[in-house]
Amino acid sequence: MKKKKLRIGIYSLTSCSGCQEQIMDLEEELPEIVKAVDIANFEMVKKLDEKAKVDVAFVEGCVAKAEEIERVREIRRKCGFLVSMGTCATYGGIPAIRNLHEGWKFEKLVYPDDSMRLSAIKASPLSDYVKVDYFIRGCPMNKLEFLEVLKSLAAGKKPRELNYAVCVECKKRQVPCLLVKFLKGEEGGGICLGPITYAGCNAICPANGVPCLGCRGPFEDSNVESYVQMLEKHLKGEDVKRMLSTFAGTSKKLIKFV
Ligand code: SF4
Ligand code: SF4
């Protein structure tokens, strides 16, 4: 008997659409993906059938508008497995920076006209409203990670979780540590969030000489307390907060430090 194809839907809430762009960037693999799975909805390409039932829903973006609460609940009702795609969907991401500032002062600067932000609510991760079965992190997510997750699900397996630090990937690639260089006062060093950040990006930033900014968020077993104590010896309190709040400041592990 012919195996039934996995039916997927790709949806977008408040975001810059950068994660969907990553899928579009899978130029060589996209024709194979289109053949291997049944795509019921792909927001950036074409809204095919937003209300269709799917096996897997990939959702990009956070819930930041009142109407998105019901939308994400509806997506959840129509899918068997829900994947939070990228840092906005997983933590609230950059839109959630506004939650950390009284009276949403940034929003008023960007949208001075009240009518432009009538339905805006606190920017929240999907998991505040619905059950999420798997998280792909990153701002944007890594297209190869998306591919791996899709392959696993198409094979009927749950994708693996990587509960360890970016530093591990740095070591695997034999990248000289930027943080160690910084602490020794050597040239080319920098404050790097790798020790507390979820692996999965293959340490792409440190491997290119740029300290990790923590776009994948703090991993479950990370020792954030001890890392912040180290940061406070080298940076002003405001700079520590700014650094930690860029991508996942509203996450449970970081919120008390930002
Ligand atoms: S991720 Fe950053 S702190 Fe960790 S080993 Fe690499 S450069 Fe060093
Ligand atoms: S190194 Fe850090 S900032 Fe760069 S992609 Fe990986 S998690 Fe994101």
Give the model's pLDDT for residue 1.
60
Pick from 95-99, 204-208, 246-250: least confident: 95-99
Give the model's pLDDT for residue 103.
64
pLDDT higher at 109 or 125: 125
Domain range for 32? 6-154
**Are 147 and 173 members of one domain?**
no
Mean pLDDT of 103-129: 80
175 in a structural domain? yes
Angle at Cα 141 formed by Cα 31 and Cα 67, nearest 5°?
A: 95
**Are 82 and 200 members of one domain?**
no
Bridge partners, 114 (sequence order): none
187 in a structural domain? yes
Residue 142 carries which side chain, given as an amino acid letter? N
161 in a structural domain? no
**Are 179 and 150 members of one domain?**
no
The alpha carbon torsion through 11, 12, 17, 20 (nearest 10 deg) reads -10
1 in a structural domain? no
Read off the pLDDT of residues 85-108 as tens digits, 9 standing for 90 and up.
999 999 999 999 888 887 667 777
Domain limit, last residue, from 93, 119, 154: 154
Mean pLDDT of 2-10: 88
**Are 44 and 82 members of one domain?**
yes
Ligand nearest to the CA of 138: 2
Residue 63 has φ and ψ, to the nearest 5°, of: -90, 110
Give the model's pLDDT for residue 2.
65
Please state the domain count of the chain: 2
**Are 170 and 136 members of one domain?**
no
**Are 221 and 175 members of one domain?**
yes
Give the model's pLDDT for residue 161.
85
Give the model's pLDDT for residue 4.
84
Nearest-CA neighbor of 203 among 231, 177, 227, 185? 177
**Are 130 and 252 members of one domain?**
no
126 in a structural domain? yes
**Are 127 and 149 members of one domain?**
yes
Give the model's pLDDT for residue 47.
66
Which residue among 168, 212, 219, 246 has the greatest number of ligand 2 atoms within 8 angstroms of its CB, and so is best to mutate? 212
The rounded Å distance from CA 204 to ligand 2 centre is 6
Nearest CA to ligand 2 atom 5: 201
245 in a structural domain? yes
160 in a structural domain? no
**Are 131 and 24 members of one domain?**
yes
Mean pLDDT of 157-182: 95
Instruction: Give 31's pLDDT tier (boundaries 50, 70, 90).
Output: confident
- Average pLDDT, rounded, for the chain: 92
Give the C-alpha distances (Å, rounded to integers) separating 25 from 31, 154, 220, 230. Answer: 12, 20, 30, 38
Domain limit, last residue, from 154, 184, 216: 154
CATH number for 133: 3.40.50.700
**Are 201 and 78 members of one domain?**
no
**Are 58 and 116 members of one domain?**
yes
**Are 113 and 180 members of one domain?**
no
Is pLDDT of 227 > 80?
Answer: yes
Instruction: Give 190's pLDDT tier (boundaries 50, 70, 90).
Output: very high
Domain limit, last residue, from 154, 178, 194: 154
In this structure, the residues whose C-beta lies within 6 A of any atom of ligand 1 are 166-167, 170, 175, 177-179, 192, 194-195, 203, 206, 212
